[in-house]
Structure 1
Amino acid sequence: MDNATWPTFLSDPRKVLDLYDQPPALDRCDLFYVHIDERDTSITFGFDTSELPAHPRQKWKEKPFNSIRFFISFTGTSQLHVNGWESPGQKNVGISRDSEDELRVQVASDGSSLSFRAKSASVTHSTAQLTASDSYP
């Protein structure tokens, strides 16, 4: 999978594609948040990226910003596997669709891995923010 095609796996890809001509690859984003909710069988990832959208929302243009924060919620999750978890940051993130039309999500870095299946995924929130310039490589 071309890592920048991840919006095609979302229930509403326009939430990303209306902002970006070329969305940032998830591997180049900072995975700063992972929330596993066993009650709703959902898993939410939070990402930060310094790759700015070509078409920012009008309200974002009203103040300076140099990064975008967005959250992807995966619902109907199953087969969760976690092996170690090092501090947040850049990790290899892959999303694909399997033969049963479910999403397969894999996250890995040195000393960490997380994988699961999900029935759907959506961007639940995104915002523009001003961060310290040394936050990104």
Structure 2
Amino acid sequence: MLHWTDLLTDKKKLMAIYGVNLPSLDKVNVHEVIFHRDGPTVTFRVDLLEYPSSPPKKWIENKFNTVQIRLSCSDVKYSSLHGWNHTSFVASIGLNRDGELITLALNGDGLSVCLKSAFLDVSSISAYIDSLH
């Protein structure tokens, strides 16, 4: 079965942090959805549920407990957003290949995003202290 990271342009960033135990996109905390005309690109800033078993030294020293990624879909061919009328969203993201395109479906309570794009990338990965964690 295809793991979502197999659809990434380059999964080395995630593998450097998580090793072979790559995270899922289930129950992510959605902070931001950015629709940008360049590309066009849609970027999701989300907190991952899983924390790496061997995080970077800097993360350990700073007692970070939450990993946040920016998942970018570029050369977007189709997109739709429904909801976004709350201040907190927990959602699951499903990714599949549909011919030459990647289909993304984000679904959560009060938020739904669907899109098709040519490329998928983790544009950044960071960590922070989530006091609610």
TM-score interval, smaller chain: 0.7 to 0.9
Once the two structures are superposed, what CA deviation does each residue of 1:29-59 show, in whole Å capped at 9, x if it has no partner? Answer: 2121110112430000011135211232233
Q: Is this contact kept in 1: 2:45–2:69, CA < 8 A?
A: yes
Call closer, same or farther: CA 1:60–1:109 in 2, change over 3 Å. Answer: closer
TM-score when normalising by structure 2: 0.85
Residue matched to 2:66: 67
1:79 aligns with 2:78: yes
Whole-Å separation in 2 of the counterparts to 1:64 and 1:112: 31
Q: Is this contact kept in 2: 1:18–1:55, CA < 8 A?
A: no
* CA RMSD, 1 decimal: 2.0
Once the two structures are superposed, what CA deviation does each residue of 1:49-106 show, in whole Å capped at 9, x if it has no partner? Answer: 352112322332332111111111111001112233343421121111112x210011
Residue matched to 2:97: 97
The one-letter amino acid of 1:10's match is L
Report percent identity of matched pairs: 24
1:12 alignment partner, one of 10, 16, 30: 10
Q: Which runs of 5+ in 1 are unaligned?
A: none
Aligned length: 131
Once the two structures are superposed, what CA deviation does each residue of 1:4-34 show, in whole Å capped at 9, x if it has no partner? Answer: x221111111211222232222122212111
